A = this chain, B = another copy of it.
Amino acid sequence: MAPKAPKFEIKTPKGTRDWSGADMVLREKIFNTITNVFKRHGGVTIDTPVFELKEILAGKYGEDSKLIYDLADQGGELCSLRYDLTVPFARFLAMDKNIQQIKRYHIAKVYRRDQPAVKKGRMREFYQCDFDIAGVYDPMIPDAEIIRIINEVFDGLGLKGKFTIKLNSRKILDGIFQVCGVPDESIRPISSAVDKLDKMPWADVRKEMVEEKGLAPEVADKIGKYVVLKGKRDLLEQLQKDEELAANPSMQQGFEDMDLLFTYLDAFDVTHSVSFDLSLARGLDYYTGVIYEVVTEGSAPKVSAAEAADKPKKKKGKSGDADEDRSDDPTVGIGSIAAGGRYDNLVGMFSGKTQVPCVGISFGIDRIFSILSATQSNKERKNEVDVFVMAMGGGKDFTGLLKERSQVCTRLWDAGIKAEMLYKVKPKFQNQFKAAETNGVPFALILGEDELAQGKVKLKEMGLPADHPLKEGELISLENLAEEVQVRLDQKKKLDAIVEQAGGLRVVGGIKGEDVKVATETTQPQADAPAQE
C-alpha cells in the first residue's frame, strides 16, 4: 500500500521557511543569550494567542494594516494573525487590571503579508523578541535599565564594542520642531522625514519637507541645524544653553528626562554605548518619550564611492514606518538590529480609563541572525551529545555488543549525560566513528569484549592531535562509569570556557586539567564581518 506522490509542489508557503540544522542551533543560541539577560533583570515571559480578534489589530498600524493576515470566516469571530507583539501586550494589560506593573518578555512569531526578501531575512513569518517594562515608576529609571539590557544582550552575543545605541526623545524632537516653527499638525510628518536621515542626505530630506510636506524653507533650514547634532551629555548641555529651546515647555521636559537618563546610564555603566542623536525620530506614532535604535556596521554595508555614484537613484522610501529600512536596495543593509522607546498611551487605547505607561525594546532576531551567521564558523554542532558509545571489533565473530552499548547508554542517561549510539546490531567501527565526528561529539566511549571482561571501557577525546599523550584514549572503570565520564566532561567544559574567554584560541589537547596545551590559531577569514571599532 505504498502511497502515490501528490500532484502539487511540496513547499512551505511564500515568505515562510523551515529552520533546521546549524541555522536552528545558532537561532536557539541567540534566544538563550537574550532570554538569560531578560531573566537577569527580573523579566517574566507571557504567551498570547497567535491570532487576535480582528478588531484588536484594527487601526493600530496605519496604512500597513493591509499587510495583516486574516483567518477565513468559518463562522464565529473574525480573527487576524498578530502583526507584532506590542499590541497583544497592550491588550493583555488592558484585560488584566490586576497587573499594574510587569517586566515582561515575549519571543514569538509575527506575520506580515509583505513582499518577502529572503536573503535579507525579510519574511512573512518572523520572530520578534520584546522586553517591556510597564507601570508607573519614578521617571527614567526603567528607561535607563532598558539601555542597560540592550548592552548586555549585544555584549552577550559577542558584539561588544560593535554596536551603537542611538538615543533621542520625542519631547526634545517635538520641542525643536515647535521652536523652529513647524505647525502642530505637521510635526509627525516632519518627524517621519527626519527619520530618513540615516538613508538619505539632508538635501533630500529638506526637499521632502519643503516640496512634499509644504514646510517653509527657512523652517526646514532651522531644523537642519539641529538634526545633524550628535553627542552625549555634552550635547544636552549645549542645547540647554540655547535660550530659545530652553523656553519651550516640551523641551524643558525633554531636558529633565535626558538629564536624569544620563545620570542613570552612568550608574549602569553604559554611557559609552549611546549616542544622543537628534536625527533619530522613529516611525511609529505611539512613542511619547525616549526613543532608541541600535545600529551596527552591518546596518549599512560599505559601498565604494564609485559604486554608489554608479547606482541609479531609487525612489524614496515610503513614510516612516518600522519596516522602511527593510528595503530591497542592497546598499541599505539590514538596518537597525533593535529599536524601541516609551509609549505611555497604547494600553489606554484598549482600556479607555486605565493608562499603563510602558517602555520597551524589540530585538530584530532575523537581522541579528544574519550578522552572526556571517561572522561565525559553520562548525556549530548539530546536536548536544557529549558521548558517542561505540563497539570495537569487526571480525567474523563480532557481536556488535548492542546489549552492552544500550546498558552503557542507559547508565549515562541515568546520570543525565547526553549520549548516543548507532541503531545497528553490528555496526562497523568506522561508521560509528564517522557519526561521532560528523556531529562533533567530543568523546567516544569504546566498548571491546576484552576490556569489558576486565570491567573497563575506553574513553577517547575526539580530535586530539597525533602526538597527544591521550590520543589513543584511556581505560576507565565500568564501575564508576558515569562519574569518570562526568569528570572529563566537566574538565573539557572548563577548558573550553577558558579558551572562549581568551578568544581566537583553540585547545589542542588534554582531557586532563593538568595536561593542557593552548595554541594560538588564526580564526576563520572575516572579510565580510564588521571590524572592531
Contacts and interface: CB of A to CB of B under 8 A. Distances in A.
Contact of A13 (B11, B77, B135, B145): B77
Nearest to A44: B383
Contact of A6 (B6, B148, B352, B419): B352
Interface string A6-42: 1010111110111111001101100000001001111
Contacts of A484: none
Tell me how many chains of this kind the complex includes.
Answer: 2
Interface stretch (A47-55, A199-207, A316-324): A47-55
A425 to B, nearest CB: 5
A10 B56 contact: yes
Contacts of A48: 12, 18-19
A49 B69 CA distance: 14
Interface string A405-421: 01101100110111110
Interface string A290-320: 0000000000000000000000000000000
A345 B3 contact: yes
A113 interface: yes
A81 B39 CA distance: 31
A138 interface: yes
Interface stretch (A90-98, A276-284, A442-450): A90-98
Contact of A18 (B92, B137, B148, B410): B92
B148 A410 contact: yes
Contact of A24 (B24, B44, B79): B44
Contacts of A382: 44
B53 A94 contact: no
A88 B11 CA distance: 10
A345 B2 contact: yes
B42 A420 contact: yes
Contact of A352 (B5, B42, B55, B144): B5
A524 interface: no
A268 B410 contact: yes
Contacts of A425: 138, 141
Which interface residue of A1, A3, A48, A268 has the most chain B CB atoms within 10 A? A3
Contacts of A141: 402, 423-425
A148 B413 contact: yes
A73 B13 CA distance: 13
Contacts of A76: 14
Nearest to A143: B423
Contacts of A10: 56, 91, 94-95, 350-351
A269 interface: yes
Q: Which of A27, A36, A42, A145 counts the most B-chain CB atoms under 10 A from its CB?
A: A42
B40 A8 contact: no
A236 interface: no
Contacts of A527: none
Interface in A116-155: 125, 133, 135, 137-138, 141-142, 144-145, 148, 152
Contacts of A264: 406
A3 B71 contact: no
**Best-buried of A18, A25, A402 by chain B (most CB within 10 Å):** A18
B72 A46 contact: no
A501 interface: no
A47 B24 contact: yes
A74 B54 CA distance: 15
Nearest to A16: B49
Contacts of A414: 269
Please name the 4 residue pairs, one residue from A and one from B, whose CB atoms are nearest each other, closest first.
A5-B352, A137-B423, A267-B406, A16-B49
Interface of A: 1-6, 8, 10-14, 16-21, 24-25, 27-28, 36, 39-53, 55-56, 69-74, 76-77, 79, 81, 91-92, 94-96, 99, 103-104, 109, 111, 113, 125, 133, 135, 137-138, 141-142, 144-145, 148, 152, 263-264, 267-269, 345, 348-353, 355, 382-385, 402-403, 406-407, 409-410, 413-414, 416-420, 423-425, 439
24 contacts: A1-B345, A10-B351, A12-B52, A13-B51, A13-B53, A17-B49, A18-B46, A18-B47, A18-B96, A20-B44, A20-B47, A28-B45, A36-B416, A40-B418, A44-B382, A69-B72, A69-B74, A71-B72, A71-B81, A103-B383, A137-B423, A141-B402, A267-B402, A269-B410
